[in-house]
Amino acid sequence: MIRSERSKFIINELEELYPKTSVPLNHNNEFELLIAVLLSAQCTDERVNKVTPILFKKAKNPNDMAQLEVETIYSIIRPCGLAPKKSKAISELSQILINDYNGVVPRSFEQLEKLPGVGHKTASVVMAQAFGTPAFPVDTHIHRLAQRWGLTNGKNVSQTESDLKKIFPKNLWNKLHLQIIFYGREYCTARGCDGTICKICRTCFPKRRKPFKAQKA
């Protein structure tokens, strides 16, 4: 298969497996989504979803969050890892949202990426899932799968994101990034598939015999 054939097959396969893509991080508003995505860095969605109900019961908007002590936030989000840095970022960005954005989560990549603890990937998730703006958030899992499937030879997530945006139609980006994540968790895991086992890997590269080693992001 050439790359365009692989991409079409991947789209069809993922659409058949995951016709509906619900956001894996539980939230009730844009602010809660922003906080949940920030917490998900180097942490599983499952763990984040156990922590956020406790946090959001105390503060579901920037005004309430800014009134919490950083130590209080830390004590709640500690299971997520990197808690000292994340708790400080949550407190600071809440105050910035109040001071600069009237307590509203901004709707631009540039403004989001200026917030403490919010990088490009976090901003992309918020833009895609909260505001429906076309984005292709790439984490280490998508980076790994994109290499296995011959969609990129990028050495980092930035290059992989750029390559995927060129390959896939823009109107599919928001859904595809979730579909790839779901497939990676279920069928093409880091340990369960070495590039020769799952259906997409076998179909895209039927002659591949040796395990494929993806470059880390």
Show which residues are catalytic. Answer: 121, 139
**Residue 15: left (phi > 0), alpha (psi -120 to 50), or beta?**
alpha
Half-sphere exposure of 56 (CA within 13 A, CB side): 20
Judged by DSSP in three states, 49 sits in: helix
- The phi and psi torsions of 154 (rounded to 5 degrees) equal -60, 140
Distance, in Å, from the CA atom of 198 to the CA atom of 212, rounded to the nearest integer, reads: 12
Biggest alpha carbon–alpha carbon distance for the chain: 59
Distance, in Å, from the CA atom of 92 to the CA atom of 88, rounded to the nearest integer, reads: 6
Nearest CA to 136 out of 152, 115, 116 is that of 152
Q: Give the C-alpha distances (Å, rounded to integers) separating 140 from 1, 29, 68, 92, 98.
A: 25, 26, 32, 27, 32
